[in-house]
Amino acid sequence: MPHPVFIICCDSMVEDKTTNRASLLNVIEKVITRKHRMEMTPDGGLVMPTAPPQGFALHFECSVLAVWMADPGDVGLEFRHQFITTAPNGAIDPITEPIPFRFVEKRAWRRFRLNMIGTLPVDTSGIFQFESRVITHDNRTLSQFYPLQIEVESAEAVSPSG
């Protein structure tokens, strides 16, 4: 049965096609964002942002790399891999469909890469979790997780002078 080696989230990743080595650039452990920023008018009034008051989506780009290692008996068997996320509010989103794969001779490790460009549906601070899931040929599920700390700062009023 495959074993998790590691899962990590970073800004980007490059892979040397000759040596098959991966380089991860700027590991991401925490994301800090401000929920809404309100502007104060000179007479003391507030200008509300055009963003919807309920819910919040953070634009986010990253690469997630998950590595799994085969047991000797795993070579040639069919497995499936899937990336899943869980938001701080508990919302679960299967980012990818389960994709079939096989381990091959002389290559015990298998890499799975997710390039994420879009929004994180976060409205509260907490852990945004990436899950790398392997489904075995007999439908057992194995998982490894990467917790990304999200800190959503409260809105503040800012005066026109700064």
- Whether 63 maps to a domain, the answer reads yes
- Whether 61 maps to a domain, the answer reads yes
Residue 57: other Cβ atoms inside 10 A:
13
- Whether 162 maps to a domain, the answer reads no
pLDDT over 90 at 102, yes or no = yes
Q: How many domains does the chain have?
A: 1
- Whether 65 maps to a domain, the answer reads yes
- Whether 161 maps to a domain, the answer reads no
- Whether 160 maps to a domain, the answer reads no
- Whether 136 maps to a domain, the answer reads yes
Residue 33: CATH number of its domain: 2.60.40.3880
Structure tokens at 122: 């976060």
Give the integer Cα–Cα distance in Å for 35 and 29: 19
pLDDT of residue 53: 46
Structure tokens at 121: 């549906």
Q: Which structural domain range is residue 87 located in?
A: 3-15+22-48+55-155
Instruction: Give residue-wise pLDDT tens across range 130-141.
Output: 999 999 989 999
Mean pLDDT taken over the chain = 84
Q: Is the dihedral of CA 9, 12, 18, 19 positive or negative?
A: negative
Full-prediction pTM beyond 0.75? yes
- Whether 137 maps to a domain, the answer reads yes
Residue 127, H or E segment: strand 126-135
pLDDT tier at 24 (50, 70, 90 boundaries)?
Answer: very high
